Amino acid sequence: LADLPPDEAPPTIFDKIISKQIKSAILYEDNDAMAFRDISPQAPTHFLVIPKVRNGLTRLSNATEAHKMLLGHLLFVAQHVAKQEKLEPGFRVCINDGPD
């Protein structure tokens, strides 16, 4: 991802959560991803998984070939946290892309 141009998008609430400017209930964190509880849950267990460094990935529709490993890692983190949260026998994964 080092070959990607710098991200010009303005900071978001997620950037503030990553930088710990906004407190959140973090469920998982590594160098590449963070998972935390949603502040306005739509289900009994509702968490978000986001990349810690955007590198242009502010929307799924912005993904490039260079993002493939990170996207896979985010899904891996989602299933890891789901297991940690005891969501067997299954769970739902939803990916939003933009305001609509």
What does the pLDDT read at residue 9? 76
Query: What distance in Å separates the CA atoms of residue 57 and residue 28, rounded to the nearest whole number?
Result: 20
Q: Per residue of the chain (100 residues), what is the pLDDT tens digit?
A: 666 666 677 888 999 999 999 999 999 999 999 999 999 999 999 999 999 988 888 889 989 999 999 999 999 999 999 999 999 999 999 998 988 7
Q: How much is the pLDDT for 20?
A: 93
**pLDDT score, position 82:** 98
C-beta of residue 41 within 8 angstroms of C-beta of residue 85 = no
Strand partners, 50: 34
Residue 5 is predicted with a pLDDT of 64
In angstroms, the CA 64 to CA 85 distance is 31
Give pLDDT, residue 58: 84
Provide the b/e sequence for 44-55 (b: ≥16 CB within 10 Å). Answer: eeebbbbbbebb
CB 95 within 8 A of CB 41: no
- What is the model's pTM? 0.89
> How far apart, in whole angstroms, are the C-alpha atoms of residue 54 and residue 89?
32
